[in-house]
Amino acid sequence: MRGHIRAFITLILKDLRVTARSPWELLAILVFSSLSAIPATLVSVEVLGDATKLVLLFVAIYISTQTYVKEGRAGTIEVYHLYPIAPSVHFLAKLSYTWLLLLSSLTLYTTTLALLGVPPARLPSLTMEWLPLTLHLSAASSLASLISTYLKAETTLLIAVAAVMVTPALLSKGNPATLALLGLAYTIVALTVAELLED
Amino acid sequence: MHSVIVRNLWKRFNGNPILRGLNASFEEGSLTVITGPNGSGKTTLIRIVAGLTPPSEGFISVYGFKPGSYKARRLTSVILDKPLLYEELTVEENLELFKTLSGSEGGKFYEVALETLGVTRVWRRRVGELSHGWRRRVDFARSLIAEPKLLLVDEITTAFDNESLREAVSILDSLTRSGSTVIATTPNPGDVELLADPVKRVCSLRDGVLECEAI
């Protein structure tokens, strides 16, 4: 168990270091999050919820495909096939990493909204609606990444699987609890798949 | 005892057979070099034994386990043509990462590799800044972290100069004496002489068929 925890922390730190040392990619995520808040201030508060879903969706897809494609090109994706890393540890590390980046993105987005005049009283409740969505998107994109890595599939499959999994979130008219539960369900599915892969 | 057993191994890509019913056994504590021209299937064979590529047909066992299984991965280490290192991380960060992932603190062969190949000289440099030769040395050290029972080395002579190749081969010699199995490939049969003493067997892979002889 201690080995799994060490591997989990090591994998998150590795992803964060690699991201921090590729400043243009990180900057692209942050600038996109900040700039996309500008048109969002022009719409009604009701539409703002849907606009934000799209922003977070783009960021989540960018993060997961970017890390997957990058590891695929560099050949380091083989690490997950050659080292005794439990797939569940791999999944949880990817989920945590994606969630951290999505939270950073959401923080910047809401800060920009506040600076541009969205009523501050509305922001806490909106943020509470969006937080479960970030968990949901992180779980869905990490599960897609896990499937693609272990099936050695192409990026198109990753995008297709992720798209199918996030559709309910995009169509739902915002019960945050449902989204959080769906994210939790994806996590449980991923951990079950991971157990099977380990055997 | 045989550490790796291969029986009737076939690999086809788009219907074209690359490996044609290979049969081979690799003894514990031996160093085998597989030679063959480019495209003969050496890398494919290494990848299949490592569990990276599934065979089309046939049986392979790594210490009694299926290649690529969790237990086989604990025993196996692989050096591929492309070093398995993160370019954005320093040499130190890479090696510490792989220590954690393999659940090992690094052993005596790893320590020797760090010293004799001069890896400590580039300790704080990012891998992306290193030449292919240096990356290969760091990758060699990485492969020894967990003191693998089976070490697979693709294109063993690539990117090593004569001196570092001698050092690397000397480490492989010590590794096989401790009971580990090493299977290495090279496209050039003349390289076998460079690898000298520790090589116990040379196999030739041609037209998908493996022929081995002890030396």
Amino acid at A186: Y
**The one-letter amino acid at B187:** P
Mutate to test the interface with A, among B101, B127, B130 (most CBs of A within 10 A): B101
Region B7-17: mean pLDDT is 92
Instruction: Say if residue A103's pLDDT is above 80.
Output: yes
The partner residue sitting opposite A10, judged by closest CB among B73, B77, B97, is B97
**This prediction's pTM:** 0.87
Distance CA(A170)–CA(A28), nearest Å, equals 23
Q: Which of residues 140-169 of A touch B (CB under 8 A)?
A: none
pLDDT, residue A150, reads 75
Q: What is the mean pLDDT of residues B6-20?
A: 92
Task: State the amino acid at position A19 in one-letter form.
Answer: T
Contact A79 B84 (CB under 8 A): yes
Predicted local confidence at residue A124, as pLDDT: 73
Residue A182 corresponds to which amino acid?
A: L
Return the residue matching tokens 């064979």: B45
Q: Any bridge partners for residue B203, and if so which?
A: B34, B212
Q: What pLDDT is attached to residue A153?
A: 57
Confidence category of residue A146, pLDDT binned at 50, 70, 90:
confident
What is the DSSP pairing of strand B76-79 with strand B150-153? parallel
pLDDT of A44 over the 80 cut: no
Rounded to whole angstroms, the maximal C-alpha distance in chain B is 48
CB-based contacts of A40-44 (< 8 A; 24+ apart in sequence): A40/A109, A40/A113, A41/A113, A41/A116, A41/A117, A41/A118
- Least CB–CB distance from A17: residue in B78, B93, B101: B93
A48-52, A190-194, B176-180: lowest mean pLDDT where? Answer: A190-194
Using the predicted structure, report yes or no on whether residue A4 has a pLDDT greater than 90: no
**Closest Cβ–Cβ partner in A17, A85, A86 for B88:** A17
Tokens in use for B153? 């080395």
Contacts of A85 in chain B (CB under 8 A): 101
* Chain A environment of B83 (Cβ under 8 Å): 75
The letter for the amino acid at A15 is D
Q: How far is A34 from chain B (nearest CA, A)?
A: 26
pLDDT score at B98: 96
Neighbouring-strand partners of residue B6: B24, B60
Buried b (16+ CB within 10 A) or exposed e, A127-152: bebbbbbbbbbbbbbbbbbbbbbbee
Contacts of A11 (CB under 8 A, 6+ apart): A85, A89, A90, A93, A94, A97
How far apart, in whole angstroms, are the C-alpha atoms of residue A37 and residue A186? 29
The string of pLDDT tens digits covering residues B158-207 is 867 878 888 888 899 899 999 999 999 988 877 777 666 666 688 888 88
Report whether pLDDT(A97) > 60.
yes
Q: Which residues of B touch A21 (CB under 8 A)?
A: 88-89, 126
Interacting residues of B16 by C-beta distance below 8 A, sequence separation 6+: none
Q: Name the residue among A75, A81, A84 with its Cβ closest to that of B103.
A: A84
Domains of chain B (ranges plus CATH)?
Answer: 2-214 (3.40.50.300)
Structure tokens that stand for B69 in this block: 């299984």
Q: How confident is the model at residue A173 (pLDDT cuts 50, 70, 90)?
A: low
Asked if A75's CB is within 8 angstroms of B82's CB, the reply is yes
Does any CB of chain B come closer than 8 Å to the CB of residue A4? no
User: Above 60 in pLDDT, residue A145?
Assistant: yes
Name the residue in chain B with its Cα closest to that of A79: B84
Predicted confidence (pLDDT) per residue in B122-169, tens digit: 999 999 999 999 999 999 999 999 999 999 999 888 867 878 888 888
Mutation for A interface: B100, B125, B130, B154, most A CBs within 10 A: B100
- Closest-CA residue of A relative to B78 is A82
Lowest mean pLDDT among A141-150, B48-57, B87-96: A141-150
Of B83, B86, B101, the CB nearest to A7: B101
pLDDT (mean) for B23-38: 90
Q: Where are the domains of chain A?
A: 2-198
**Which positions in chain B touch A73 (Cβ < 8 Å)?**
none
pLDDT-derived band at A197 (thresholds 50, 70, 90) equals: low
**A14 and B87: CB-CB below 8 Å?**
no
